[in-house]
Structure 1
Amino acid sequence: MGDAIEARTIRRVSWRIVPFIMLLYFVAFIDRVNIGFAALTMNKDLGFSSAVFGFGAGVFFFGYFLFEVPSNIILDKVGARLWIARVMITWGLISGAFAFIESETSFYVLRFLLGAAEAGFFPGIILYLSYWFPARHRAGVVSLFMAAAPISVVLGSPISSALLEMDGLMGLHGWQWMFIIEAIPAIVLGIVVLFYMTDRPEKAKWLPEDERNWLVAQMNDERASKQTAAKHGILAGLADIRVLALALVYFGTSAGLYTLGIWAPQIIKSFGLSTMAVGLLNAVPPTIAVVAMILWARHSDKTGERTWHVVIACLVAAAGLALAGAAASVVAVIAALSLVNVGISAAKPPLWAMPTMFLSGSAAAVGIATINSIGNLGGFVGPWVIGWLKDKTGSFTGGLVFVASLLVLSAILSLVVARTGRRAESARVAAH
């Protein structure tokens, strides 16, 4: 009876929540990285160098960093429905305003504001999922949610390329049309969130009473079981050394992710291809990554192992970046970028299953936001270093090798986190 109601409840909750949050992240990620496609024509129109573009693209993460923890604390207090709606509507408006940038300064300011507006969305959804799914189901669900990022590249690349072809319509450049049109779904979905999203299982009128009671009891039991083992105060989420270590692990994966999102179109374009061909080829690596991510996360859930699933994936991504730097043909660079996509995507679900193993309550809200805010600074460092070295050397190779080294460091730190966790558990058991 217990297994049957669990399967039925998780299935119903998954169908209600997962496709919708995937759609939200799909739109969010397009608005976050469509700057990479805009650069194919915008940089020339506005006279931006590679260094200017790399810095501006990365400034997003300063705003993200400053407002991430406060945003997640507010979400935990006021509920996901109101806060996610606020996030989406404000980022949609700011994303559309990119159509009107005229200088380096306006580019930098808007990228910072976009990061500030979007802060809290991703860690907020991770926290939200911890309200609805028992820990044993979490990595698989997170993998489906996070699959929206590579899917957005798969579908968004040809769409963004096509919108760039609207150059000259009504006196606007193609990149201006791209920003305007791709901002609209965020605003519309922000309004939909207000009517569709449910904050907690206790409020889920769309669940049959027996399933709602089972889920509420399960999540209450899980929280109670953490009372001795997990930390729940706000300061605990900031003070745990494992939070800082996981933030640095995420730093490397973020550097890799946004290297792909922001620079992959230009890396592919460097082989002399048309804008539309770049869009189609850029969709190939993330298509492979979606499948790999879901299978890898399911294997992690099935075995209950997290650390080595992160380590192996980070090393695969690092190898792909090194190979991309040495690639001498389009086929070779697409193969290398496929390895990077697979590794980066596969690392994230088991990584995000780790903090909720030792944090709960307010500590989980703060810890997850801290990991995401510090970690996402890698999204500044990776693209900026690549742009700076590209201007200095005329090649992407040095920057790609640098980001690869960050991913190797992420793999090492994942092992350190696991060892620290085992020591903490041994000390807790000994104390009792």
Structure 2
Amino acid sequence: MDGSLEHATMRRVAWRLVPFICLLYFLAFIDRVNIGFAALTMNKDLGFSASVFGFGAGVFFFGYFLFEVPSNIILDKVGARLWIARVMITWGFLSGAFAFIRGETSFYVLRFLLGAAEAGFFPGIILYLSYWFPSRYRAAVVSLFMAAAPISVLLGSPLSSLLLEMDGVLGLHGWQWMFIVEAVPAVLLGVAVLFYLTDRPEAATWLADDQRAWLVAEMNAERAAKQPSARHSLLSGLADARVLALALIYFGTSAGLYTLGIWAPQIIKGLGLSTMTVGLLNAVPPTAAVVAMVLWARHSDRTGERTWHVVIACLAASLGLVLAGGASSVVGVVAALSLVNIGISSAKPPLWAMPTLFLSGPAAAVGIATINAIGNLGGFVGPWVIGWIKDRTGSFAGGLYFVAGLLVLSAILTLAVARAGRRAVPERALAR
């Protein structure tokens, strides 16, 4: 009876929350990386060099870094519903404002402000999911949520290409239309969050009484089981060495992710293709990534293994970047970028299943935000270095090799964390 109640409850929770949260992240990722498609025409219109564009695209993560931890602390205090709505409405208006940038300064300022506005969304969702899903479900659920990132590239690439074709309509450039049109849904759904999300299982009137009672008891029991070893205070979430190590691992995966999101359209465009063809080809790699991510995360949950699921995925992404740096044909470039997409996407769910196993309460809010804040600085370093090297060498290859090296370091550090964990705590507590 308990098994059927658990199945019915988790199915109800998953169908209620996961599709909606995926939609929110879908919009977040589009508004975060659509700058990569805008660059196909915007850079020429505004006279941006590769270095200027790379720095501006990456400065988003400075704002993200500075406001990430405070944002997640506020979310834990006031509730996900109110704070996620605030985040989305703010970033929607700022994303639309990119239609009116006039030069380097306005570009840099708006990218910084967009990062500050969006800070707290991703780690807030990771924390929110930990309120609703027991740990044995978490990697699979996170993989479904994170699949929204490659899906946003899959669907957003052709859409962005189509919007760029609106050049001259009502006197606006195509890239201006792209920013305006793609910003509107974030504002509208930000308002919808206020009416749709429920902060905690205790308030879930959409669950039957027995389902709600089972879920509350299950989550309370899981928190109680972590009591002897889990960190709970704000300071412990910042000071835990495992948090800092996971942040550095995430740094490499973020460098790879935003290298794809920001530079892939220009890498493909360099093969002499039309803007619409670039949009269609850029949608191929994330198609493979979505399937691989979900299957890899389910395997990680089923086996209870996390370490090698992160290591193998990071090494696959690194190999893909090396191959992309040396490829010269359309098939070669798209195949290499597909391998990068698969590796980056597959590494993240098992990685994000780790922190809530040794953190809870305020420490979890701070720890997850710290991992995401420090780790996402890789989203600045990767795109900026690629632009800097491109201006000096005329090629993307050197920058791609640099990011590949960061992913190798992520794999090595993951193994080091697992080895240290075996000495400090039972292996299953860290790597499960």
For Structure 1 versus Structure 2, the TM-score category normalised by the shorter chain is over 0.9
Cα deviation code 1:207-234 (max 9, x no counterpart): 0000000000000000011110211111
Whole-Å separation in 2 of the counterparts to 1:234 and 1:44? 47
How big is the shift at 1:425? 1.2
Query: Which residue in 2 is equivalent to 1:409?
Result: 409
Find the aligned partners of 1:113 and 1:419 in 2 and give their Cα distance: 39
Deviation of residue 368 (structure 1)?
0.3
> 1:249 matched to which residue of 2?
249
| Alignment match, 2:313 | 313
Query: 1:342-381 CA distances to partner (integer Å, 9 max, x unpaired)?
Result: 0000000000001111111111110000000000000000
- Aligned-residue offset at 1:420: 2.1
* Conserved 8 A contact 1:96-1:179: yes
Whole-Å Cα distance in 1 between the matches of residues 147 and 345 of structure 2?
A: 8
Partner of 1:209: 209
Residue aligning to 1:185:
185
CA–CA distance in 2 between the matches of 1:134 and 1:91?
31
- Structure 1 letter corresponding to 2:237: G
What is the aligned partner in structure 1 of residue 172 from structure 2?
172
Q: Aligned with 2:388: secondary structure?
A: helix
Query: Could you say if the C-alpha distance between residues 142 and 426 of structure 1 is closer, same or farther in structure 2, counting changes exceeding 3 Å?
Result: closer
Counting only pairs closer than 5 Å after superposition, residues 42-191 of structure 1 correspond to structure 2 as: 42-191=42-191
Q: Distance in 2 between matches of 1:46 and 1:406?
A: 32
Given residue 403 of structure 2, which amino acid in structure 1 is its aligned partner?
V
Which residue of the partner structure matches residue 267 of structure 1? 267
Q: Is the 8 A contact 1:252 1:378 kept in 2?
A: yes
Deviations 1:257-279 (A, max 9, x none): 00000000000000000000000
Measured in 2, the distance between the counterparts of 1:341 and 1:97 equals 29
| Deviation readout 1:14-41 (Å, 9 max, x if unpaired) | 0000000000000000000000000000
Question: Partners of 1:216 and 1:67 in 2: how far apart?
Answer: 31
The two structures have a TM-score, normalised by structure 1, of 0.98
Shift of 1:421: 1.8
Listed as ranges, the matches of 1:218-233 within 5 Å are: 218-233=218-233
Paired residue type of 1:379: G
CA distance in 2, matches of 1:26, 1:344: 17
**Distance in 1 of aligned mates of 2:418 and 2:11:** 31
1:242 and 1:420 in contact (8 A); partners too: no
User: What's the counterpart of residue 348 of structure 1?
Assistant: 348
2:29 counterpart residue number: 29
CA contact (8 A) 1:232 1:362 kept: yes
Structure 1 CA distance for aligned equivalents of residues 328 and 107 of structure 2:
33
Q: What is the rounded CA distance, in whole Å, between the counterparts of 1:328 and 1:410 in structure 2?
A: 28
1:422 deviates by: 1.8
Equivalence for 2:38: 38
In the alignment, is the contact (CA less than 8 A) between 1:40 and 1:266 conserved in 2?
Answer: yes
Write out aligned runs for 1:312-331 (5 A): 312-331=312-331
CA distance in 2, matches of 1:288, 1:328: 21
Q: Percent identity?
A: 81
Match of 1:196 in 2: 196
SS of equivalent residue, structure 2 residue 237: helix
Unpaired runs of at least 5, structure 2: none
CA RMSD of aligned residues (A): 0.9
User: Is the 1:247–1:371 contact (alpha carbons within 8 Å) kept by the matching residues of 2?
Assistant: yes
Q: Secondary structure at the match of 2:369?
A: helix
Native 8 Å contact 1:36 1:261 kept in 2: yes
Q: Deviations over 1:157-182 (max 9, x none)?
A: 00000000000000000000000000
The SS at the match of 1:228 is coil
Is 1:42–1:175's contact at 8 Å kept on the other side of the alignment?
Answer: yes
Give the deviation of 1:419 after TM superposition.
1.7
Q: Which secondary structure state, in structure 2, belongs to the residue aligned with residue 151 of structure 1?
A: helix
SS at match of 2:381: helix
CA distance in structure 2 between the partners assigned to 1:17 and 1:417 by the alignment: 32
Letter in 1 for 2:154: V
Give distance in 1, aligned partners of 2:83 and 2:63.
17
SS at match of 2:3: helix
Gaps of 5+ in 1: none
Q: How many residues align?
A: 428
2-structure distance, mates of 1:371, 1:292: 24
Deviating more after overlay: 2-11 vs 200-209: 2-11
CA contact (8 A) 1:24 1:189 kept: yes
Cα distance in 2 for partners of 1:102, 1:328 equals 35
- Checking the alignment, whether the CA contact within 8 Å between 1:123 and 1:369 is kept in structure 2 is yes
Counterpart in 1 of 2:395?
A: 395
- Give the TM-score taking structure 2 as reference length: 0.98
**TM-fit CA distance, 1:424:** 1.9
Structure 2 residue 258 is matched with structure 1 residue 258: yes
Kindly provide the amino acid, as one letter, of the partner of residue 59 in structure 2.
Answer: V
Of 75-84 and 222-231, the range deviating more from structure 2: 222-231
CA contact (8 A) 1:268 1:278 kept: yes
Distance of 2:354 and 2:420 partners within structure 1? 13
Q: Contact conserved, 1:54 with 1:383, CA < 8 A, in 2?
A: yes
Give, as a single letter, the amino acid of the residue that structure 2 aligns with 1:171.
G
Contact 1:65 1:374 in 2 (8 A): yes
**How far apart are the structure 2 equivalents of 1:127 and 1:342?**
25
* Secondary structure of residue in 2 paired with 1:229: coil
Structure 1 CA distance, aligned partners of 2:361 and 2:140? 21
User: What is residue 286 of structure 1 aligned with on the other side?
Assistant: 286
For residue 426 of structure 1, report the CA deviation from its aligned partner. 5.6
CA distance in 2, matches of 1:256, 1:99: 27
Q: Deviations over 1:269-295 (max 9, x none)?
A: 000000000000000000000000000
